[in-house]
Structure 1
Amino acid sequence: MDEIDRKIIDLLSLDAKRSLADIGGTVGLSPSSVNERIRRLTASGVIKRFTVDLDPAAMGLETLVFVWIALREDADEASFRDFAETNPAILECHHVTGSWSYLIKLRVVAAPEIEGFLTDLKARKFLGRTETLIALSSSVSGAFVQKGSS
């Protein structure tokens, strides 16, 4: 991956619908050359997917929540991971170091949904303990963009 690839990634991170001609004009390549580079970046796994950046407030999901989770000693961790992958409220689930097992990021309509989420985890016998944080605001959020590479 060279500097032109990094510039293409930066441009796509800002607007995945940007035209090949526009990207090419910015990086000094023809549209077909840009297309070939994007194809290679996708085939190599650098670009995993193209997605839509939604406005959570417009979707009615205004509450951003982080939940630290320590699994029970007897919890089935594979089942927990399956649950996390299929639960639509979970945006991210990270296996972490330290006194917690996982950090989960959720989007919900309102705070009462958090209690329902935790009740579901308890009913499935996953939870040892939790700590829940509600974000008041976000000064930086969004997709991964490699800062300073363009």
Structure 2
Amino acid sequence: MTVMDTTDRKITGLLAEDARRSLADIGERVGLSPSAVNDRMRRLVAEGAIKRFTVDADPTALGLSVTAFLLVALDYETGEEAFTAFADGHPAVAECHHVTGEWSYLVKIRVRDLAGVEAFLSELKARRFLARSQTMIALSTPTERAFTSAEN
């Protein structure tokens, strides 16, 4: 497990805000030289604290205007590993969380339209993953955040 100090947390927070931020800008904000920032970033990547550098694209601009949340209770005869592999590789799945309570997983999908939600559910049924499910459609998203380094 990676042990992150305050400077590492500041660096990851700045990168979460803008992954294209320059090493010089990050260094100026955390009090390090660009080469020292680069060394820390390489270490954080090598240790797995930073998994990837990505783009925060607007789903609606990409034609994915429907966000749905599915509560899934698995049919364990099919296998949990098969389900998680399916979720990890499916292009509609934005997030998949193993949860407590009466449900097995909470899955967030982004699709073009309601037919996309129905098609996704049909795939889950065809692969025999579902014991039962409940679907919620997001009407709007007033707040959505990527990772930040803020500590609670």
Structure-2-length-normalised TM-score: 0.91
Cα distance in 2 for residues equivalent to 1:78 and 1:29: 43
Cα distance in 1 for residues equivalent to 2:42 and 2:27: 14
Q: Deviations over 1:92-118 (max 9, x none)?
A: 111211111111110000111111111
Match of 2:71 in 1: 68
Q: Deviations over 1:109-132 (max 9, x none)?
A: 011111111111111111111100
Q: Is the 8 A contact 2:16 2:146 kept in 1?
A: yes
Q: Deviations over 1:46-99 (max 9, x none)?
A: 111111111101100011110001112533222222211211111111121111
SS of residue matched to 1:131: strand
How much is the aligned-residue C-alpha RMSD, in angstroms? 1.5
Cα distance in 1 for residues equivalent to 2:133 and 2:60: 26
Match of 1:127 in 2: 130
**Unaligned 5+ runs, structure 1:** none
Cα distance in 2 for residues equivalent to 1:124 and 1:40: 40
Q: Deviations over 1:4-43 (max 9, x none)?
A: 2111111111001011111111112111111111111111
Trace 1:1-150 onto structure 2 (pairs within 5 A): 1-147=4-150
* Greater mean alpha carbon deviation, residues 19-28 or residues 134-143: 134-143
**Unaligned 5+ runs, structure 2:** none
Cα distance in 2 for residues equivalent to 1:147 and 1:139: 20
Over the matched positions of the two proteins, sequence identity in percent amounts to: 56
For 1:113, give the aligned amino acid: G
SS of residue matched to 1:104: strand
Structure-1-length-normalised TM-score: 0.92
For 1:115, give the aligned amino acid: E
Q: Is the 8 A contact 2:10 2:149 kept in 1?
A: no
**4+ runs deviating over 4 angstroms:** none
